[in-house]
Amino acid sequence: MHKASYWESEGAALRCTLCPHYCLIQPGRTGRCRVRLNEDGELYTQNYAEVTAIALDPIEKKPLYHFFPGQMILSVGTWGCNLQCRFCQNWEIAHGDPAFVATSAEKLAELAEQQGPLNLGVAYTYSEPIVWFEYVCDAATAVKRRGLKNVLVTNGFINPEPLAELLPLMDAMNIDLKAFSQGFYQDICGGGLEAVKKTIATAAGSCHVEVTTLIVPGLNDGDEEIAQLASWLAGVDPAIPLHLSRYFPRYRMELPATPTESLFHARSVAQRYLHNVYVGNVG
């Protein structure tokens, strides 16, 4: 266990201020992410340095298409997530209890360096790096010191203060924009749209940003919603690449996979506003 940052005491309980859930955590209990634990009046993070997945992936797999195309990136993930998307495509590690290998921040940076010149650096991905905050900051500092790059693949549901601490360490981010309705965020993901919009707008002023929307049939694929999403993103920067990704039934959602025609149709709607729109997960 490692001491957590971003919390304050409220009597015997602790208020976590890392993400907009602001969990009030009673003694011996964890917040919604399952990661942050109130132990004897201090907040601890339970997944520090616990790496549950590691692979050398093409950068395009993050997906990042406009950031050093053709290169590889050492990709790592842990367990835990601050959202509860019913369609979670990585639920085994995000919401399960996967085996892990303890890997210090320095060791991770060293591993990244050992991959050779085709490796850009480290991507914090697979589950949700926001709830790995303290380790990501330490590892990203060690990676940067070696002249390598850091990439964050995230749901963007983080408060402005920790985001400001993270951004100077990041070279690129892929941020999920899961839908363009508060109802979808609330009912399907247990989150909030405005906080994610704020993260995208802030991050775009600091590092390379691409955005991913998983298109779920009948839930977030209406023309009007896609147009609103793309038009808002164009207001931030019309050159931000948007990835429209195909959903497959996973975790707690049984709707059939998104028809490929719906993805290409959504792309044609988004292209009215954005310069770079891609369809993903279609083989």
Name the site residues for ligand SF4 (rule: CB under 6 A).
Answer: 16, 18-19, 21-23, 31-33, 35-36, 82, 131
Min dist CB 30 to ligand SF4, Å, is 7
Min dist CB 109 to ligand SF4, Å, is 24
Residue type at 211?
V
Cβ neighbours of 280 (radius 10 Å) = 17
CB closer to ligand SF4, 36 vs 267: 36
| Helix ranges (DSSP H) in 17-114 | 91-94, 105-114
Largest CA distance in the chain: 55
CB closer to ligand SF4, 36 vs 144: 36
CB closer to ligand SF4, 5 vs 231: 5
Judge contact between 130 and 163, C-beta under 8 A: no
Min dist CB 174 to ligand SF4, Å, is 20
Vertex 131 angle, CA 42 and 81, to 5°: 120
Cα 191 to Cα 19: distance, rounded to the nearest angstrom: 10
Bridge partners (DSSP) of residue 110 are: none
Min dist CB 220 to ligand SF4, Å, is 23
CB closer to ligand SF4, 31 vs 63: 31
Residue type at 58?
P
Min dist CB 76 to ligand SF4, Å, is 19
Cα four-point dihedral sign 67, 206, 126, 254: negative
CB closer to ligand SF4, 128 vs 225: 128
Phi/psi at 106 (5° precision): -65, -40
CB closer to ligand SF4, 23 vs 88: 23
CB closer to ligand SF4, 121 vs 129: 129
In the bound complex, which residue of the shown chain has the CB atom lying closest to ligand SF4?
Answer: 31
Q: Pull the structure tokens for residue 146.
A: 């070696």
Min dist CB 26 to ligand SF4, Å, is 12
Min dist CB 62 to ligand SF4, Å, is 22
Min dist CB 10 to ligand SF4, Å, is 13
CB closer to ligand SF4, 19 vs 51: 19
Cα 105 to Cα 107: distance, rounded to the nearest angstrom: 5
Q: Where are the beta strands (DSSP E) in the chain?
A: 2-3, 7-10, 13-16, 24-25, 36-39, 42-45, 50-51, 53-58, 72-77, 101-102, 119-124, 149-154, 172-176, 208-215, 242-246, 277-280
